Amino acid sequence: MGLLEGKSIFVTGGSSGIGRAIALAAGREGARHVWVASRNPEPHEGGETTVDLLHAAGTASEFVTLDVADTAAVFAAIEATKTQGGVDVMVCSAGINAKEDFLAITPEQFDRMKAVNLDGTLFAAQAAAKQMVAMEKRGAIVVIGSIGGLRGMRFSTMYSGLKAALINMTAGHSHQHREPRHHRDLACHRPGAGVPGDDRQGRTENSAAASGPAERNCRGSSVPCVRSRELHHGGIAHRRWRPVGADVREYRTWA
């Protein structure tokens, strides 16, 4: 039996990069239904679409045209999943990055990145959490962070700052609802430092930098940091499930 046997999973930014890898891994682990949400179904790295690959492997899947910066559209997309029994695992992977000179950043550039990377993630997670509570179901919410949110990256002032906010936002949410009796997990995965790319959702990050022994607490945070093999999301032991092949650390708290 797979780690996600019978579960339904919704992945923002699922057409490309980390989101694509997660969606395909979910199929391999027995997911019952996978929603792949992005602005465009075509992967940035080329090849067949995520949905086509899932169908070829025998996994029920559908593409959802979605810009996570549109909050109303995000809530509508999550609401529509009720026809398939709702979301068991919500993965917030949509994000954009662009190399920038700090002295040249414009308000418009910052607003767009914030709308996708922070606002889009916040309200996608909230939409899924509200549905899980309303349907009284166990579930998991996975937020894709970045090591850049902990130490910053050159020519990525906006991206690093917003990822730092995202990590702490995730911790704040989880601390509010961290009692195990709720049977919902919220985790922030921190892939290694990536190379800034184009303004696109679902971009691939180079995740080879996160290595070393598991830390019980990250940089003084009260949120424990553990390996993915130690995580349990909604009663599902994620001993092997990682978004990419690299060594990835996660914040794990109850939600």
Domain residue ranges in the chain: 8-254
* Fold assignment, 8-254: Rossmann fold (3.40.50)
**What percent of the chain has pLDDT above 70?**
68
Asked whether the beta carbons of 255 and 174 are under 8 A apart, the reply is: yes
Task: Give which of 23, 59, 60 is closest to 41, Cα–Cα.
Answer: 23
Asked whether the beta carbons of 157 and 201 are under 8 A apart, the reply is: no
Per-residue pLDDT at 153: 80
**pLDDT(208) > 80:** no
Q: Is residue 142 within a helix (H) or strand (E), and if so which, with residue range?
A: strand 139-144
Residue type, 83: T
Per-residue pLDDT at 79: 97
**What percent of the chain has pLDDT above 90?**
51
Q: Which residues are catalytic?
A: 146, 159, 163
- pLDDT per residue as tens digits for the range 24-71: 999 999 999 999 999 999 999 999 999 999 999 999 999 999 999 999
Per-residue pLDDT at 37: 98
Q: Mean pLDDT in the chain? A: 75
Question: Which residues make beta-bridge pairs with 137?
Answer: none
Average pLDDT over residues 114-126: 95
**pLDDT(73) > 90:** yes
Asked whether the beta carbons of 9 and 88 are under 8 A apart, the reply is: yes
Per-residue pLDDT at 188: 62
pLDDT band at 186 (very low <50, low <70, confident <90, very high): low
Per-residue pLDDT at 155: 85
Per-residue pLDDT at 170: 85
Average pLDDT over residues 119-135: 94
Per-residue pLDDT at 191: 57
**pLDDT(241) > 80:** no
pLDDT band at 203 (very low <50, low <70, confident <90, very high): very low
- Per DSSP, the three-state class of 86 is coil
Cα–Cα distances (Å) from 214 to 185, 211, 224, 226, 227, in that order, read: 19, 9, 10, 6, 6
pTM over 0.85: no
Cβ contacts of 248 within 8 Å, gap of 6 or more: 189, 190, 191, 192, 207, 210, 228, 242
Per-residue pLDDT at 185: 58
Average pLDDT over residues 95-101: 87
Per-residue pLDDT at 156: 86
**pLDDT(95) > 70:** yes
Which residue would you say has higher pLDDT here, 255 or 37?
37
pLDDT band at 85 (very low <50, low <70, confident <90, very high): very high
